[in-house]
């Protein structure tokens, strides 16, 4: 096991594990064959080796174009996420639904020396790609379900979840679990869909949602959960069919 995987192993809360983590594929796997099979087109795509192999090389950029993020390309988006999370002050970072580690490896170079960034995803195909392309010092990958993550409360200084809440079956369960594992003073950065306010646009995005399985969030849904959970410094930026939401947990 590499040093970073050993450090990740040390972060796991044994009371939340159903099995001994398996490190044979280059990441820690605590799901085994228990991972739920997605039931939507978008969810199934994330389990495909083909999509995983092209995700970082065009698919993600295409997603930004399709969602109309107004010229915000993958590298600007990663920079924006790193700044929102104040990574220069964070030593333990969690990248929830990390896909092929396209943000995780960049975060690892933004944290102080000795920091650790954990990329968590449920897809074997995505994590195999992460191990091929994005293993760098200070990054380690975990196969787990974002709805019930195997970490103790208040573990992480910063948590990112980009381009995933609209795909997971129970996004508010994922959000609640992220808030559970966020340390006091820690920051969270989310990027997900936005249904829009103009009725024809709402109808079109609603239809797309039904066809693809990509959930469309209302403007106040995520910010409302964060506010109710006592989060502060809540910021929301809307770009096309996307919303970026940042917040901090008080000390
Ligand atoms: C589109 S990728 C996002 C990758 C990266 N965060 C980005 O912004 O480009 C969405 C990821 O969510 C993961 N995912 C979906 N449901 C999940 C769950 N319940 N637990 C963990 N990961 C999940 C998929 O496997 C997929 O890799």
**CA-proximal residue: ligand 1, atom 1 (nearest):** 163
The number of the ligand 1 atom at minimal distance from the alpha carbon of 60 is: 9
pLDDT of residue 234: 98
- Mean pLDDT, each 10-residue run in order, the chain (251 residues): 94 96 97 78 80 82 79 86 96 97 97 97 96 97 97 98 94 98 98 92 86 90 98 96 96 96
Closest Cα to residue 167, out of 144, 149, 192? 192
| Domain extent for 208 | 3-248
Answer yes or no: are the C-beta atoms of 93 and 111 closer than 8 Å. Answer: yes
Question: What residues does ligand 1 touch, defined as CB less than 6 Å away?
Answer: 46, 60, 97-99, 102-103, 121-123, 126, 145-147, 162-164, 167-168
pLDDT of residue 206: 86
**CA-proximal residue: ligand 1, atom 12 (nearest):** 97
What is the count of structural domains for the chain? 1
Predicted TM-score (pTM) of the model is 0.95
What CATH number does residue 68 fall under?
A: 3.40.50.150
The number of the ligand 1 atom at minimal distance from the alpha carbon of 145 is: 20
CA of 160 to the centre of ligand 1 (A): 11
């Amino acid at each position: 096991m590499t040093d970073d995987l050993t450090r990740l192993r040390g972060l796991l809360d044994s009371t939340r594990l159903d099995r001994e983590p398996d490190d044979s594929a280059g990441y820690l796997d605590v799901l085994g064959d228990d991972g739920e099979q997605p039931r939507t087109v978008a969810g199934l795509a994330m389990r495909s080796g083909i999509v995983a192999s092209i995700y970082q090389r065009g698919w993600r950029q295409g997603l930004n174009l399709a969602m109309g993020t107004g010229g915000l390309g993958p590298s600007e988006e990663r920079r924006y996420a790193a700044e929102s999370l104040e990574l220069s002050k964070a030593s333990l970072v969690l990248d929830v639904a990390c896909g092929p580690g396209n943000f995780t490896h960049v975060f690892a170079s933004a944290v102080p020396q000795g920091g650790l960034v954990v990329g968590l995803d449920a897809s074997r195909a995505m994590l195999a790609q992460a191990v091929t392309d994005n293993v760098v010092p200070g990054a380690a990958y975990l196969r787990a379900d974002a709805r019930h993550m195997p970490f103790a409360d208040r573990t992480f200084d910063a948590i990112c979840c980009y381009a995933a809440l609209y795909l997971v079956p129970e996004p508010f369960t994922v959000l609640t679990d992220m808030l559970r594992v966020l340390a006091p003073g820690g920051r969270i950065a989310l990027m997900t869909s936005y249904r829009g306010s103009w009725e024809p646009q709402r109808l079109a995005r609603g239809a797309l949602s039904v066809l693809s399985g990509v959930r469309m969030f209302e403007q106040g849904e995520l910010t409302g959960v964060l506010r109710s959970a006592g989060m502060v410094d809540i910021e929301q930026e809307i770009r096309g069919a996307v919303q970026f939401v940042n917040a901090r947990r008080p000390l």
